Amino acid sequence: MSDDHDESTLGRIETEVALLMRFGEATRRATGTAEHRVLDRAAYVILRHLADAGPQNVSALAARLNLDGSTVTRQVSALQRDGLITRTPDPSDGRGTVISPTPAGLQRMAAVQAARTRLYGDMLADWSAEDRDTLAALLGRLNQALVNRNRR
């Protein structure tokens, strides 16, 4: 592959990722269903991670989500105020706390996840199962590359 072709391909990738983020945000804002609005994006991401990974302390959450600790602390405080997470003493560090989702938090997260899954099902209805699998795999690889890049 020539350098010019590679640069052209990388330019297309950059443009498509920028558009993906722009259209994704516009779609999230414009979606009229209440399920999409019961959690803001940050709360959804935190609850999804807690549901998958189990109880976490703020620093582990911040590291995994590539966010500043004070940002996560603010978001966790808002989630706690809304009854969506609980804090309990950290068994490995008695001075710290771990955050866990409450049943209400898991229920809201699941409602948003289901609504988003339906939305993508509608948008990708005319894609073959193979194309959807390929998209999922490539997006997973892109996200992992972004995680690896942000750890440097």
Across 76-116, the runs of DSSP E, i.e. the strands, are: 85-90, 93-101
* 41 and 22 within one domain: no
**Domain ranges, residue 143:** 35-151
Query: pLDDT tens digits, residue range 14-36?
Result: 999 889 888 877 776 666 555 55
Domain count, the chain: 2
Instruction: Let me know whether 14 and 50 are in one domain.
Output: no
Model confidence over 109-152: pLDDT tens digits?
A: 998 888 888 889 999 999 999 999 999 999 999 988 987 887 76
**Predicted pLDDT at 37:** 57
Give dist(CA 152, CA 147) in Å, integer: 9
33 residue type, one letter: T
pLDDT of residue 142: 92
Q: Are residues 69 and 131 both part of a single domain?
A: yes
Q: Can you give the pLDDT at residue 129? A: 96
pLDDT at site 121: 92
What would the pLDDT profile of 61-118 be if each residue is shown by its tens digit? 988 888 888 888 899 999 999 999 999 988 887 788 899 999 999 999 998 888 888 8
Residues 68, 87: one domain? yes
Do 15 and 41 fall into the same domain? no
Q: What are phi and psi of 141, to 5 degrees?
A: -65, -40
For residues 144 and 89, what is the distance between their CA atoms, to the nearest angstrom?
31
pTM of the model: 0.78
- Indicate whether 14 and 52 sit together in one domain: no
